[in-house]
Chain A
Amino acid sequence: MKFVTRKGVRLDRAACGWLIRRHIAPDADILYVEAEDLPQALEDGALLFHNTTSEDPASGDRTSFQELLAEYRLDERDEGLALMSDIVRGAETKEPGSIEEAEGLRAIAKGMNALARSDEEMVERMLPVFDALYAYCVRRVGGQRGWANAEAGWGRQDEDATTVWSPTRAGARI
């Protein structure tokens, strides 16, 4: 399986990269190409994961992350991902009334963007951030709002937090 997007990955598409790696197709190739190379990538069967040139500007609250979730029906199956998509959208769009975690995520992503030297590196560096955010979301929709180590005890790992993102658990989706 092959996914493609144009160069210049920021928050939303970094989150898409995480979603592909962790929940859709862990072994997929993810390509970051110049705009003029996109047609060839599509000819070769790659799946686009950013908005097209003709998306409606009025639909600015839509994120590619949400679209991928809906396409693979992950938001129906996983409330943690559904909550995470709200946070990603809030961070991406800065819409008033966004969920409070969005602002922090945006700051981290912008910082990571300053540290990374390529799209691949940006996505790789953000993987553990999104792993952590997802673990937080899973705990939160499960009603766990405290610190995991306070519940599990120091030195013991919280089972939820360490297994929820496992690629082998997630597997490839259709």
Chain B
Amino acid sequence: MEEKWRRSQDWFWEGNLQERVLDYMQQDEGFTILSPGQPTVQESGIDIVAEKMVGEVPTHCMVTVRGWPSSVYTKGKLQGQPRVSRPETVAREWMAQVVLDLALHRGADPELVLALALPTMAGYIRYLQRLRWFLAAARISVYLVAQDGRVTVMPPGAAPVSAVTAPSAAPVTGPSTRRKLGLPGSSRLQLPLLHVLIASGGQASRTECIGLVAQWFPEVPQPPPAEFGQRLSIAQNTTQLEGFTEIVGRGVWAITEAGRAVHDAEWEDWLKNKES
């Protein structure tokens, strides 16, 4: 049977980029995430809000995350079918929106640390190159996310050279990207989340899910840190976009029939992979 298309399959989807950037900001830059933003199947962009103490002064940062447009329809009856409008055409519109948003944010708050997060697609790289003067003038840095999960930061006005440099180490895609904090990434949490929802009778509160899912990962400290809950929320959001879970009350998650089917089809493999 042909595998069902999922939005999260595209490495350049905004939800996947968000996960990488959140990790990078927390682990490498020491930010505390105030709001991770919510990826949507409509690809409407994500704003991450974070805070870091510089001396004794809290500095706030807003990162606008934009993926590369999918080449297929992301919702509706045609989901998974090729789109009529080409991604590069849509990408130009997205870039125009982002630049306007960033310019308006800078005008509204000269002190806010502003950044943009993009996948290292050549189309975006050329825009960044042509907009270096603007990024320098508006003091906007750029997080570039590569397919292998590498995140590099371009200071305001710098050239996007990381897009043309090969990774210096082995690819860090998949589960190994989360080793630094010792926490699994949100993509690894999706199936265990479906499993605990089934085991809980079809639905459970977010708090219950955090505790139950964490039990499948011995490396997660007890009680699970806030970052773990954040990643589980992202996992829930992703599975909701794919129709596998839904929110049935305030902070209450439930599994759908489609979610049960995916769980039944993939759980054994997940267990085998975990053991190996």
Residues in chain A within 8 A of chain B (CB atoms)? 35, 38-39, 42-43, 45-56, 58-59, 61-62, 64, 66-67, 69-71, 73, 75
**Are A64 and B147 in touch, CB under 8 angstroms?**
no
23 interchain pairs, CB-CB under 8 A: A38-B161, A39-B164, A39-B165, A42-B160, A43-B159, A45-B159, A47-B129, A48-B163, A51-B121, A52-B121, A52-B163, A53-B166, A54-B147, A54-B148, A55-B147, A62-B71, A62-B88, A66-B86, A67-B126, A70-B88, A70-B89, A70-B123, A71-B123
**Are B161 and A42 in touch, CB under 8 angstroms?**
yes
Q: A56-B11, A56-B12 are in contact. List 12 more A-B contacts (CB 8 A).
A: A39-B159, A42-B160, A48-B163, A49-B126, A52-B120, A53-B163, A54-B120, A54-B146, A56-B147, A59-B87, A67-B88, A70-B86
Please report which residues of chain B, range 67-109, place their CB below 8 angstroms from some CB of chain A when the two chains form the complex.
Answer: 71, 86-89, 91-92
In the complex formed, the residue of A with least CB distance to B90 is: A70
Q: How far is the CA of A49 from the CA of B159 in the complex (A)?
A: 15
In the complex formed, the residue of A with least CB distance to B129 is: A47
Contacts of B12 in A (CB 8 A): 56
What is the distance, in angstroms, from B9's C-beta to the closest C-beta of chain A? 8
The verdict on B134 contacting chain A, using a C-beta distance below 8 Å, is no
What is the distance, in angstroms, from A136's C-beta to the closest C-beta of chain B? 22
Contacts of A66 in B (CB 8 A): 86, 88
The verdict on B53 contacting chain A, using a C-beta distance below 8 Å, is no
Count residues of chain B with CB under 8 A from any CB of chain A. 31
Q: How far is the CA of A35 from the CA of B164 in the complex (A)?
A: 8
Contacts of A53 in B (CB 8 A): 120, 146, 163-166
**Are B91 and A47 in touch, CB under 8 angstroms?**
no
Please report which residues of chain B, range 151-181, place their CB below 8 angstroms from some CB of chain A when the two chains form the complex.
Answer: 159-161, 163-166
Contacts of B127 in A (CB 8 A): 71
**Are A39 and B126 in touch, CB under 8 angstroms?**
no
Contacts of B71 in A (CB 8 A): 59, 61-62
**Are A45 and B129 in touch, CB under 8 angstroms?**
yes
Q: How far is the CA of A131 from the CA of B125 in the complex (A)?
A: 28
The verdict on B10 contacting chain A, using a C-beta distance below 8 Å, is yes
| Of A43, A50, A71, most B-chain CB atoms within 10 Å | A71
What is the distance, in angstroms, from B197's C-beta to the closest C-beta of chain A? 30
What is the distance, in angstroms, from B94's C-beta to the closest C-beta of chain A? 12
**Are A42 and B159 in touch, CB under 8 angstroms?**
yes
Contacts of A56 in B (CB 8 A): 10-12, 147
